[in-house]
């Protein structure tokens, strides 16, 4: 049945970044629309096509012809999930905005509980994964390692096992839209905002179809982005290491001088000299690499390019 209801001011906006999600679209809309209809609230589903190379866009357009509450933002190319999510949030009109992935690993059935918490006065309702047994051993443990590192290095506490799936009140969304930095780590930005937060736990499900675009190398770069974006400790640590190294060098110099004065001139060893040179060369390269990570982000920011480019929209009102 065709639904032509397209509220001007929906109560709830779902934001769904999509990259090559053609295989999951039918299952996604079947479950999500059923859940949202059960809420008896006006809503919109903003789907952001992030430069998909399959027929994701065509299938989204077909879904919109059946239900005008489905709105589409078609980006000019693949900008990455963080910027696709930003584009969807920028276009959302709801009093509450809920980012959710299309793969249904985050179950839409808990949305009514999130809305209930929001109605109780919470401005952010955070969905936290209490069971990740469907993920691989390496993925689970690397995620735990990342959250552990961020807890120690991060300047802003980032909740463990919480993804982008959450409900945000309109005032939170407007605050988020003020942040226009180019290299975006959305989990960190969400945490930086603060606001009154409730937590709902859920069990992570298997992906309904297709394969995740998040391979291990991409996850590693994503984790690196999080550390660099929300901690200056990787820069600061080299100052401490420099002081310790200088102190160690001074002690070693005193040992050499004392040994020379007492025992006479000693012939230096080639092996020990090479070890010292190679060790400190490695330290210098690591230090330059860390500085380069931060400098690269400054380089991106000062160019002031737009966060994303939109090729076309379907059902989105122009401001």
Spatial contact of 182 and 305, defined as CB atoms under 8 Å apart? yes
Confidence of residue 132 (pLDDT cuts 50, 70, 90): low
pLDDT at 238 over 80: no
CA atoms within 13 A on the CB side of 11: 10
Q: Provide the token pair at 3.
A: 């639904």
- DSSP secondary structure code for residue 204 in this structure: P
Beta bridge partners of 12: 43, 96
> Helix 25-39 vs helix 56-66: angle between axes, to the nearest 10 degrees?
30
Widest distance between CA atoms in the chain: 97
Q: What is the pLDDT of residue 213?
A: 55
User: The pTM is what?
Assistant: 0.69
302-317: per-residue pLDDT in tens? Answer: 778 888 898 888 887 7
> Which domains does the chain possess?
12-215+306-314 (3.90.550.10), 233-302 (no CATH)
**Distance between CA atoms of 183 and 178, rounded to whole angstroms?**
14
199-214: per-residue pLDDT in tens? Answer: 888 887 765 555 555 5
- DSSP secondary structure code for residue 3 in this structure: B
pLDDT at 48 over 90: yes
Q: What is the pLDDT of residue 49?
A: 92
The listed range with the strongest mean pLDDT (1-5, 150-154, 168-172) is 168-172
- DSSP secondary structure code for residue 68 in this structure: T
Confidence of residue 2 (pLDDT cuts 50, 70, 90): very low
DSSP-H helix ranges across 179-215:
186-193
Q: Provide the token pair at 139.
A: 């993925």
* Whole-number average pLDDT of the chain: 77
- DSSP secondary structure code for residue 165 in this structure: E
Beta bridge partners of 198: 125
Average pLDDT over residues 267-291: 67
Q: What is the pLDDT of residue 294?
A: 75
Strands in 7-95 per DSSP E = 12-18, 43-49, 70-75
């Amino acid at each position: 049945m065709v639904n032509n209801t397209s509220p001007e001011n929906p109560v709830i906006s779902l934001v769904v970044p999509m990259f090559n999600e053609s295989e999951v679209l039918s299952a996604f809309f079947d479950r999500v629309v059923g859940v949202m209809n059960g809420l008896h609230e006006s809503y919109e589903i903003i789907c952001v096509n992030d430069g998909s190379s399959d027929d994701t866009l065509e299938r989204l357009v077909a879904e919109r012809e059946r239900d005008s509450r489905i709105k589409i933002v078609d980006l000019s190319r693949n900008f990455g999930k963080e910027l696709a999510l930003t584009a969807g949030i920028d276009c959302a009109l709801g009093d509450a905005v809920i980012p959710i992935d299309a793969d249904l690993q985050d179950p839409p059935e808990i949305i009514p509980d999130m809305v209930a918490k929001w109605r109780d006065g919470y401005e952010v309702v955070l969905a936290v994964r209490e069971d990740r047994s469907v993920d691989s051993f390496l993925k689970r443990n690397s995620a735990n390692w990342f959250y552990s590192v961020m807890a120690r290095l991060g300047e802003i506490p980032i909740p463990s096992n919480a993804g982008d799936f959450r409900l945000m009140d309109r005032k939170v969304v407007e605050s988020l839209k003020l942040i226009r930095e180019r290299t975006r780590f959305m989990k960190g930005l969400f945490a930086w905002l603060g606001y009154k937060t409730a937590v709902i736990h859920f069990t992570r499900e298997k992906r309904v179809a297709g394969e995740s675009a998040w391979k291990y190398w991409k996850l590693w770069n994503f984790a690196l982005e999080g550390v660099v974006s929300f901690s200056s400790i990787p820069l600061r640590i080299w100052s401490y290491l420099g002081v310790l190294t200088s102190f160690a060098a001074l002690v070693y110099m005193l040992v050499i001088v004392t040994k020379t004065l007492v025992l006479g001139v000693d012939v230096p060893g080639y092996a020990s000299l090479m070890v010292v040179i190679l060790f400190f060369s490695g330290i210098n390269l690591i230090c330059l690499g860390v500085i380069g990570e931060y400098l690269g982000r400054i380089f991106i920011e000062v160019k002031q390019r737009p966060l994303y480019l939109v090729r076309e929209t379907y059902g989105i009102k122009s401001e």
